[in-house]
Chain A
């Protein structure tokens, strides 16, 4: 039984990897943002570890944690109000949930860049010096809990059935990977609605406060004045701080006190 589960997870991880490669690699080759960046660029293996880790270990754990705590949130609003909301047109409910989610994640993400305690987890994602679809998966599991938790909060509180917008969720999910890909194919005005790599690449600029904190669509950045869209790509991606180059090191560093990490970091480089 356990053997079967493990094989299932391996099969699914491999299938997902192949599918995503097929979706993004041709685009990265034909419309590259950084010309000459290879598929197996430096730290490819580190991001591959994050990809495997996310599928094999963290995704179910993260999602289970959020569901576990989310259940208790669904009782915050009285059932009467929830049922009143559920009788509103689906389009209105969907828009409300997505706008609230985007607003929360915008604020939460901005805080991650501002507050050092939150940045220590989020900087794992920003430590990628080479952006492509695989680098999107470089994310500390506690960062995942924070962001997925925030983004799902309105749906939990309002009791909104997310399965009714499975298509929208799927699009936003795969687009989130796309905006990290090494692609430059300007979408024109459409980018304000659905976001684009040329915007999110600037979020990964070496400057921690570069802007573009919004989830996928940059509308929140436009509203709050943090929208940036220069005509060129940033010179370099990553963070100014020194950080580990290994998977274990990147997982452990944020959860350890600074002094302890300093004394053991030589084992994780």
Chain B
């Protein structure tokens, strides 16, 4: 009884996490991401995005959006979405942090008003 409960719980946890990740990647979780994306693409210091189809090894969980700094050397990086390899890939990347920071900055500025 206890064993089958653990098995059930593990499967539910596994499916929930995978579904949550897919929803997160599809943009269901943060409505603000859409507005951020617009802000990002419209602003001068644009942010560069990488996304890939993955192959059967692994994947990057968060992908990389690099902030273009017009004074730095890597300003000309312009990366389009991609599919990952069949082994692995990056699950989360600095893009997610930048978006998070943008959220917190906008929340801060709203608070201070």
A201, CB-defined interface residue at 8 Å = no
Interface residue count on the B side (C-beta < 8 Å): 53
Majority SS of interface residues in chain B? mixed
A166: Cβ under 8 A from any B Cβ: yes
Contacts of B66 in A (CB 8 A): 60
- Chain A residues with CB under 8 A of B97: 8, 11-12
Please state if A161 and B61 are interface contacts (CB–CB under 8 Å): no
Given contacts A30-B10, A60-B64, A70-B82, contact A15 B53 (CB under 8 A): no
Residue among B27, B53, B62, B78 with max Cβ neighbours from chain A (10 Å): B53
Are B18 and A147 in contact, with the CB atoms below 8 A?
Answer: no
Q: Does A101 contact B (CB under 8 A)?
A: yes
Query: Do residues B91 and A19 form an inter-chain contact, with CB atoms below 8 A?
Result: yes
Name the interface size band of chain A: 35 or more
The listed residue (A16, A27, A216) touching B90 by CB distance below 8 A is: A16
Give per-residue flags for A133-148: 1 if the beta carbon is below 8 A from chain B beta carbons, else 0: 1001111000110011
Task: Answer whether residue B46 sits at the interface, using C-beta atoms and an 8 A cutoff.
Answer: no
Do A147 and B57 touch across chains, with their CB atoms under 8 A apart?
yes
User: Which of A19, A98, A125, A150 sits near B92, CB closer than 8 Å?
Assistant: A19
**What is the minimal beta-carbon distance from B79 to any residue of chain A, in angstroms?**
4
- Docked complex Cα distance between A11 and B88 (Å): 19
CB-defined contacts of A163 to chain B, threshold 8 Å: 51, 81
Enumerate chain B interface residues (CB-CB to A < 8 A).
6-7, 10-11, 13-14, 17-18, 21-27, 50-64, 66, 69, 72, 77-94, 96-97
Q: Hey, which bits of chain A sit against chain B, CB under 8 A?
A: 1, 5, 8-9, 11-12, 15-16, 19-20, 22-23, 26-27, 29-31, 54-55, 59-60, 63-64, 66-67, 70-71, 98, 101, 105, 109, 125, 133, 136-139, 143-144, 147-148, 150-152, 155, 161-163, 166-167, 169-174, 176-177, 179-180, 185, 195, 200, 214-216
